[in-house]
Structures are given as C-alpha cells and as structure tokens.
Amino acid sequence: MIWLVFVLSALAIIAAGIAIARFGDIIAVRTGLGRLLFGTILLAAGTSLPELIAAFDAVRFGIPDLAAGNMLGSILVDMFFLALFDLVTRQARLLRGTAITHSLTAALATLLLAATVLFILVPLGLQALGIDLESLIILAIFVGGTRLIQRRAALGPVPSEEVAAGRHLPLLWAGLGFAGGVAVLVLAAPSLVGSAEAIAATTGLGTGFIGLALLPLVTGMPELVSSITALRIGAFDLAVGNLFGSCVFNTFALALAGLLFQPGSIYAAISSGFSFVGLLGLILINIALLGTLARPERRIRRIEWDAILIIVVYVAGIYLLYQRAPLLSAQR
C-alpha cells in the first residue's frame, strides 16, 4: 500500500512538473520577464514547493534535522542534475552556453548557503519581534538578492526565439495551467513525502541521512522533470535558472520554516554535522559557477570536465556522509 501511494504521488508530481515547465516558459515570454528571471524566481519557487511543504511538516513535528537534510540535500541534488544535463545536452554547452547572468544567481546561492552554515555552527541566539535573527537575516539577503537579479535581467531584451515560442497559447490559459500544476504539487507532495518516510523507516537509517539522501531525490522530481522539459523545448536558460534558483529558494525556505520553529532557533536545533553538507553544497555550486564564468573553448574528447567533477564530488560526498551518518543526528 505504501509503495502504491508513493508511485501514484510521484506520477502526479511528474505530470505537474511538465505542466509547470511548459506553461512557465509561455508566461516568461508573454509577460516580458524572460526565461532567465522566470526560471530563477517563479519556476524555482513553484517546483521547490514539495521541499517547502516537507520542511514545514518536519518543523511541525519537531524534526529540524529532517527539514535541514531535505533543504540542504536538495541543493546537492540540483547541482548533480545540472551536471548530468550538461553532459547529455548536445544542442548547447549548458553551463557555458547560457546567460552569464546566472552567475549572479549562483553567487546569491553561495551567500545564502554560507550564512546558513555559519548560523548552524554559531547560532546568534538573538530575536527581533519574537523571530530569530538568523531567519530574518537569511530572508533579507534573499529579498535583496532576488531584487538585484530582477534588475539585471531587465537590462537585456527578450531574445526573438523566446517571443516566437510564446505565441501559441493565451497568457490566461498559461497562467491557469501553471497554477493548476502548482496546486497538484501542493496536494501530492505530502503523500509523496509521507510514503517515502514510511519506506525509509524500514531501512533503519537515521532521520538526518533520510532527509539528506532520500527526500531530496523525491521532492526534487519537479525540478528534474521541469528542467528536462525545458531542455527539450530549447529553453536552456529556463533549465539552468530553475536549478540555480532552487538552490537560492531552498535556503530561503529553511529560514521560512524557521519562523514556525518553537522554541528557540531552528539553526541552533539542527545537528552541527549538517555544516559539512552545506560546505559540500558550496563546493558544488562554485564548480558550476566556474564553469559558467570561465567558458573555455577547448574540450578534451568532447567531455565537460566541470560537469564530471560535480558528479564525482557529489557521489564522494554522499558516500562520506553515509559512512558518518551519526553526525547528522548528533545532539549539540
């Protein structure tokens, strides 16, 4: 029964992810936002709703390590997906062929993630209006950073191929389709997460490692499917912006969930071992950022070495975390 719920929920989320990517691309063109801004903010927020819902549920049940594992683990998975897409995409060199403005999104992700790691290691223990200062700082960085991305994206015109891509469906129908896809995510995600937790419980692994290794693969399905669909229709900026933007949104979502955590700071309650997860995420994002900025023309045997490096570091990091799983459940 648990497996049936898992499969049905996963299929619903896959269908919603496809709808969000297709309708989102049309909205990006017709509203003049462009695929860069839409993928970075709106699409990333929509496809990251399962992670946000899972984090709220974890906080509600008093399991901050599960929320942290899901959010920080999703960043690792997003960079892993980006590397895989870079290897298999032949129409373009994904990391080096998309808008260089994505480096601004990646830089914002590293800033937010570094602040998150800092607060896990050294919680401030201060409050403002009954809200922990750490969460407020993260939220302020997110708002300021996304505003910068919006201004930077508005400087350039929308490419002509994007305009042509958005002519076949009215904006109203695209908006309704996008909203419907998000609604399906909201309805299906709790069942997906709940069934995944029940299946994972039979393995005997700790809550922290389950949140890190299993839940991100489950809740990351919308990002995966949406990015694949975006690549198939040639919306490379939408795909890259979705994955980088999801890294930004996941750190924001952890801070948002922290507003509901009682008593005290969620960062103080998260096991300090998750700082290693955050540092691993910083390494992966910066490798992708170097690939975006460097843009070397020469390749050896047509292999994207930055993508290979991301995959190797991700696999090695997950294995190392598996060997030291108790660190993700250790009490302060």
Residue pLDDT, tens place only, 189-229: 777 767 766 776 666 555 566 667 677 777 777 777 777 77
Query: Cα–Cα distance between 174 and 27 in angstroms, integer?
Result: 6
Return the half-sphere exposure (C-beta side, CA atoms, 13 A cut-off) of residue 231.
Answer: 25
Handedness of CA 148, 152, 155, 159 (dihedral sign): negative
Which helix (H) or strand (E) element contains residue 28? helix 2-30
Query: Cα–Cα distance between 200 and 210 in angstroms, integer?
Result: 7
**Residue among 282, 284, 266 at smallest CA distance from 65:** 266
CA distances from 133 to 62, 115, 127 (A): 20, 12, 5
> What is the pLDDT at residue 246?
85
Q: How far is CA 15 from the centre of its chain?
A: 18
> What is the pLDDT at residue 116?
94
Residue with tokens 């919603």: 16
> What is the pLDDT at residue 158?
45
**Residue among 238, 193, 176, 212 at smallest CA distance from 40:** 238
Contact by Cβ (8 Å): 330, 273: yes
DSSP, res 327? G
Low-confidence ranges of the chain (pLDDT < 50): 155-167
Mean pLDDT of the chain: 76
Which domains are seen in the chain, by residue range? 2-328 (1.20.1420.30)
* CA torsion, ordered 260, 257, 205, 113, to nearest 10 deg: -140
Query: Cα–Cα distance between 66 and 58 in angstroms, integer?
Result: 6
> Concatenated DSSP letters for 257-322?
HHTT--SS-HHHHS-TTHHHHHHHHHHHHHHHHHHHHH--S--BTTB-HHHHHHHHHHHHHHHHHH
CB atoms within 10 A of CB 315: 11
- With H, G, I as helix, E, B as strand and everything else as coil, classify residue 128: strand
Residue with tokens 């401030």: 124
CA distances from 234 to 21, 92, 243 (A): 12, 9, 16
Task: Give all strands (DSSP E) within 166-239, no chain letters.
Answer: none
**Residue among 275, 288, 187 at smallest CA distance from 246:** 288
Handedness of CA 106, 51, 256, 182 (dihedral sign): positive
Query: Cα–Cα distance between 29 and 220 in angstroms, integer?
Result: 25
Q: What is the pTM of this model?
A: 0.79
127-128 and 131-132 beta bridge pairing: antiparallel
> What is the pLDDT at residue 244?
86
